[in-house]
Structure 1
């Protein structure tokens, strides 16, 4: 069957998290660099489609192509390891220490930034004919995004910071759902459909994704947009990273792990009058059906 039930899904999530913690420094960095670069290219593609067609929804529909490509090739994003790596630590997997989780997060952050910044430089050259002319319409749109999502938040003070944080939480709620839904199917089509839906939602709603922003805001600065590096760090990247961590781990990783990995004891049926009795023994047919369920198969996503 292509559908993976939640209990087996949690096992796959923990296995994936353990694998990422134990991965070598070289492989972690390379996979993170490629993940950040491909997602950045997808963001540039989606914005180009939105500007040239005047249809932001069409850009959002097409943006998930980058997310799908990078995860099918086994590359990593910080938003995904925020959700998966801590589960291996909670499950007490060998080698899954607090230091190992933090090491993984740090390496993936660094790799994602390198990949996204590289694409930002390349696209800035593309939008300006090698910095010999004014930015194209798409370049100007990217600069305006950077201004609106830094200075625009700052203009609202604490309310703007709260809005930024909430958008970051909502973003990785959806992005991590996409990561997990890729594990819910063993077919290529099932994986693609599972990832596509939540990623399309986050992009169209304008939620804040730390890796997409590693491309958008350096691009804006390179293209002469009206905000500073400090504006970018204080009024976007740092709060976005924290919000992405909270959203993915709280609303996806922990909820699935607690309710399907470490489930609470089942309630005992009670008879009238307050007396209790043991649950009825399972029928032979249900025992056979349970025995026929395939064992969990570790995967790396």
Structure 2
């Protein structure tokens, strides 16, 4: 699968971070929007499979298809630029500044949020026939997951905040591994396998 050792692809990571920092506002937003939309669709797909089969593991196994799709297409998730852009700053690439890194992070966040919100509206419309019927088992499950990821921690106060923060760290750790995994091979199959493993892990573990 044309495996590359870490020492061989570290420069690729720095180059990727640098290119993202200097990318135009339009291109950054478009790539981030598409990434947010595709990942949201993949999440809906995984939950649908889990609900219909009753086996959450199957949903976790299939969820990474969205992550693989968006990275093979060159789109950007906020977690990905979190790990790549600072590398260009640490490597002291000419013209790379903290302001440039923060600008990229902000634009990618807006794009990801916009893409995910668009898909959320579309899926809600589909599940409820234009907001006229009950969302069904899949729609209810997606809503329950969203509620659990927000209000579910409130009753625990500060401990709840720390819990969700640590879960977020573990999630980002695994997604960052997926981003790096896309660079450990020069073949599509190798990239997909390397990306698949950490994304499946974080999804099934509920991070």
Normalization by structure 2: what TM-score?
A: 0.98
The residue number in structure 1 matching 2:120 is: 120
The residue number in structure 2 matching 1:102 is: 102
Structure 2 SS opposite 1:134: coil
The residue number in structure 2 matching 1:93 is: 93
The residue number in structure 2 matching 1:155 is: 155
Deviations along 1:155-185, one digit per CA (max 9) or x if unpaired, are 1111111110000000011000010011010
The residue number in structure 1 matching 2:19 is: 19
Matches within 5 A, 1:170-249: 170-207=170-207
The residue number in structure 2 matching 1:43 is: 43
- Which 5+ residue runs of structure 2 have no aligned equivalent? none
Distance 1:114 1:152 in 2: 24
Distance 1:148 1:171 in 2: 16
Offset at 1:136? 1.4
Deviating above 3 A after TM superposition, structure 1's stretches of 4 or more consecutive aligned residues are none
Higher helix share: 2
Q: Does 1:135 align with 2:135?
A: yes
Q: Give the count of matched residue pairs.
A: 207
- Which 5+ residue runs of structure 1 have no aligned equivalent? 208-301
Q: Does 1:29 align with 2:29?
A: yes
Structure 2 SS opposite 1:155: helix
Distance 1:187 1:143 in 2: 38
The residue number in structure 1 matching 2:76 is: 76
CA root-mean-square deviation: 0.9
Normalization by structure 1: what TM-score?
A: 0.68
Which is bigger in relative contact order (C-alpha 8 A, separation at least 6)? 2
Structure 1 SS opposite 2:13: helix
Distance 2:113 2:19 in 1: 22
**Greater C-alpha Rg:** 1
Distance 1:206 1:126 in 2: 26
Deviations along 1:162-212, one digit per CA (max 9) or x if unpaired, are 1100000000110000100110100111000000000000000111xxxxx
